[in-house]
């Protein structure tokens, strides 16, 4: 659904859309009604609705040529909660990795499996990234949204960590689809 927190904030960060959410929270509306209520043209309303739909915030019900839009309250609550906790922590801490990595992880990984922070040093960051890779199976394709979801189980800034995983040659990327690279590429930890 929502790929990143950023997308959610962007979706809400405009007066027209925020107002739109307010209206949609009250009852079902057609595009025409919304355009009238907001004093906007229909294409503009369609445009905003599309963004909200992309976040899964709006449900649509067709009736003839009219489309009735309403707020998906559950989705809004789900998203808001993510804002609140900044990290879902779905995955409780799993089995421990080896020796040096283990020591590093002890410092950065909380008991619930979330990252307390991202190490500034490239070496330690490597340990964290290797640890994140446990969530990715070999020979499997992961769309970018899925990658973000998996990472957000541990840290809100999935965009940064996703880039780091690619930068460290743990994940490869093409056309917004990712896959795991062979472990020998990075498991030892050949750093510059």
Which residues in 13-42 contact a second copy (CB under 8 A)?
13-15, 18-19, 22, 25-27, 37
The listed partner (a second copy, DNA, none) that binds 122, CB under 5 to 8 Å by sort, is none
Report in angstroms the alpha-carbon separations of 156 from 123, 134, 159. 21, 18, 9
Report in angstroms the alpha-carbon separations of 53 from 81, 167, 187. 18, 32, 41
Q: How many CB atoms are located within 10 Å of the residue 33 CB? A: 16
The residue among 7 and 101 lying less far from a second copy, judged by its C-beta, is 7
Which residues in 59-78 contact a second copy (CB under 8 A)?
77
Q: Is 9 near a second copy (CB under 8 A)?
A: yes
Least gap, CB of 76 to DNA (angstroms) = 19
Coil/strand/helix, residue 33: helix
Q: How many H-runs (helices) and E-runs (strands) does the chain carry? A: 9, 5
Which residues in 96-135 contact a second copy (CB under 8 A)?
116-118, 120
Distance of CA 172 to the CA centre of its chain: 19
State the Rg of the chain over Cα: 21
Q: Which of 111, 122, 103 is nearest to 154 (CA)?
A: 111
The residue among 39 and 99 lying less far from DNA, judged by its C-beta, is 39
CB 171 within 8 A of CB 179: yes
Mark 8-47 with x for binding to DNA (rule: CB under 7 A) and - for no binding: --x---xxx-------------xxx-------xxxxxxxx
Least gap, CB of 122 to DNA (angstroms) = 22
Secondary structure letter of residue 38 according to DSSP: H
Q: Is 60 near DNA (CB under 7 A)?
A: yes
| CA–CA dist 103, 97 (Å, integer) | 9
The residue among 5 and 181 lying less far from a second copy, judged by its C-beta, is 5
**Binding residues vs DNA (CB under 7 A):** 10, 14-16, 30-32, 40-51, 60, 62, 64-67
**Binding residues vs a second copy (CB under 8 A):** 5-6, 9-10, 12-15, 18-19, 22, 25-27, 37, 77, 80-81, 83-84, 86, 116-118, 120, 156-157, 159-160
């Amino acid at each position: 659904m929502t790929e990143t927190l950023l997308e959610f904030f962007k979706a809400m960060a405009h007066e027209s859309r925020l107002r739109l959410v307010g209206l949609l929270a009250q009852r079902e509306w057609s595009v025409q009604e919304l355009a009238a209520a907001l004093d906007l043209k229909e294409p503009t309303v369609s445009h905003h609705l599309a963004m909200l739909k992309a976040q899964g915030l709006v449900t649509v019900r067709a009736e003839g040529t009219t489309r009735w839009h309403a707020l998906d309250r559950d989705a809004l609550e789900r998203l808001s909660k993510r804002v609140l906790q900044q990290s879902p922590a779905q995955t409780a801490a799993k089995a421990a990795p080896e020796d040096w990595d283990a020591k590093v992880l002890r410092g950065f990984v909380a008991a619930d499996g979330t990252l307390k922070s991202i190490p500034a040093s490239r070496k330690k960051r490597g340990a964290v990234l290797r640890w994140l890779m446990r969530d990715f199976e070999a020979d499997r394709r992961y769309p970018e949204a899925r990658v973000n979801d998996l990472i957000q189980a541990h840290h809100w800034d999935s965009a940064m960590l996703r880039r780091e995983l690619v930068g460290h040659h743990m994940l490869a990327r093409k056309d917004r689809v990712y896959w795991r690279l062979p472990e020998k590429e990075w498991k030892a930890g050949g750093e510059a």
